[in-house]
Chains A and B, each alone.
Chain A
Amino acid sequence: MENIYDIVIVGAGPAGMTAAIYAVRANMKVLLLDRLSPGGQMVNTNEIENYTGAGKLSGADLAIKMFEHTQELGVEFDYKTVIDISNSDSLKTITCEEDDAVYQARAVILATGTVPRRLGVPGEEEWAANGISWCAICDGAQYRDKEVVVIGGGNSAVEESIYLAGICTKLTIVTMFDLTADPKACDQLRKMPNVTIYPYQEVLEFTGTDRITGVRFKSTKEDATERYVTCDGVFEYIGFSASSEAFAKLGIVDRTGCIEADSRMRTSVPGIFGAGDITVKHLRQIVTACSDGAVAANSAAAYVESLKQ
C-alpha cells in the first residue's frame, strides 16, 4: 500500500521538523503532517535570541530555515488535519479531515504542540478575534496610538507587551500572579513609562457595545478591590492547552491533555512517541522541542527496525 510509512510525524513545529530530519537520516520512509504551516507556535514570536547558534531572528524565519532543512533531506510534507489515530499490533492508522485521507505507519511521533488557553469569562467569545487577540505581531498594528490591556504575566505576555508598549499610548497588564517572565524582560517592561501592571487579579468580564471598550477585574487579595480599565483592544497570554483530541483515546495523556513520555520519548503504547510542547515537561522552548524530536526519531527508528527482526 502506497500510504504505508515507517514513521508519520504529526505536527511540523521544531519538535516535528527535527524528528523528521533525524528519521529520514536513519533511512526511514517519513511523512510529516501539519494542519497549518511549518513552525507551530514559534511563528508568532517576533524575536528569538535563545536558540543556540542562530543569533537573533524571528520565529517565522527560523521556521522557514528548519523547513528548508527538512526539504533538502527529502522529507515528504503535507497540509493535513489529523483527527484520529488508532493502534493495531503492527500498524498505526492516521485519519485526516481533508479528502478522507488515511495513512498507515509502523510508528507515529506526536508533536502537535499546544494552542493558546482562554479565560472563559463573559465577553471573551463575543470579542474574540475582533478586539481580543492572541498575537500582538499580527494584530498590534491597529492599536497604534491607542490603549490596550494585556492579560497574563509569563514570558509571552511580557515579550509581547514590550512590543505593544512601543506602539500604544497606554498599556495595562492584568495578571493572576506577579510577572513570572525572564527577569531581564520584566525589568525592561517595568521601566516603560506608559505601562501599568496590576498583579494578583482575576478577570471578570470584557465589556463593549459595537466594539470592545474595557476589562473588569478584581484583586485576588483579601481586599478584593474591583477595577475597570478602558481600552481599545485586549491581548491574552495565559498559557496554552494541549492539542491532543485526535489521540486522547489512546490513554497516553495526563489530565491536562499532555503526553506522558519517558526519557526516550516513548509513550505507554508501543510505536507511539511524543515530542515537544505536547509532552509533560518543565521547560517548553524551541531548543527543548528539538531535543525531544531527535530523541523521539531515534527511538521510533529503533522500534521500526525491531519490527523487522
Chain B
Amino acid sequence: MITEITEKDYESLDHNVPMLIEFYSKTCGPCKMLSFVLKDIAKQNPDFPIYIIDFDENRELKERLGVKGFPTMLFFKDGKEVSRLEGLKQKPVIIKAIEAIA
C-alpha cells in the first residue's frame, strides 16, 4: 500500500516493520514515472508498506537521512536503512530490494 506522509508522520511510523520510503518532487518527471512503477509493485505486494514523502516540503527529514536528490528510495528493516536506490529504477531491481528486507 502506498501512503503519503510528512516528516512529522515519519516519527510515529512503526520502524520495526520493513518499509520503503520514497522521496519525490511534484516537478520531477522520473518521480512521476517511478510512482507509476511503485503503484504496480504495491498492487502485487499489498501488505508491504510504501511511504512517499515530498522532498521539497520535508527538508529537515531529508537532511537527516542524507537524501540529496529525487527520486530516492530508502529501504528500512529493524529501524535501520538497509539499502538505497537513487533515480528511476527498473521494477525488478526495486522488487529485489523489497524481497531482501521483507
**Which A residues have a C-beta under 8 Å from some C-beta of B?**
35-39, 42-46, 58-61, 63-64, 67, 79, 81, 98, 129, 133, 135, 137-139, 141-142
Contact = CB atoms under 8 A, between A and B. Distances in A.
Contacts of B25: 141
B34 interface: yes
A59 B55 CA distance: 20
B88 A43 contact: yes
A148 to B, nearest CB: 13
B33 A60 contact: yes
Interface in B7-36: 25, 27-34, 36
Given A129-B86, A138-B71, A142-B69, A46 B92 contact: no
B60 to A, nearest CB: 15
B34 A129 contact: no
A37 B33 contact: yes
Contacts of B27: 46, 58, 137
Given A43-B88, A79-B37, A79-B92, A60 B30 contact: yes
B87 interface: yes
B91 interface: yes
A79 B91 contact: yes
B68 A44 contact: no
A79 B33 CA distance: 13
Contacts of A98: 92
21 contacts: A35-B90, A36-B33, A37-B33, A37-B34, A39-B29, A39-B33, A42-B29, A43-B33, A43-B88, A44-B29, A46-B29, A59-B29, A60-B30, A79-B91, A138-B31, A138-B70, A138-B71, A139-B68, A141-B55, A141-B70, A142-B69
Contacts of B91: 37, 79
Given A79-B90, A137-B27, A142 B68 contact: yes
Interface in B82-102: 86-92
A64 B90 contact: no
Interface of B: 25, 27-34, 36-37, 40, 55-56, 68-71, 86-92
Interface centre among B25, B29, B32, B34 (most CB of A within 10 A): B29
Contacts of A139: 68-69
A127 B88 CA distance: 19
Nearest to B59: A141
A176 B89 CA distance: 31
Contact of B37 (A37, A46, A59, A63): A37
A176 to B, nearest CB: 26
A138 B10 CA distance: 23
Nearest to A41: B29
A58 B91 CA distance: 23
A138 B92 contact: no
A58 B29 contact: yes
A137 B55 CA distance: 13
Contacts of A44: 29-30
A43 B28 CA distance: 8
Contacts of A37: 33-34, 36-37, 88, 91
Contacts of B32: 43, 58, 60-61, 63-64
Contacts of B70: 138, 141
Nearest to A134: B87
Nearest to B25: A141
A60 B36 CA distance: 11
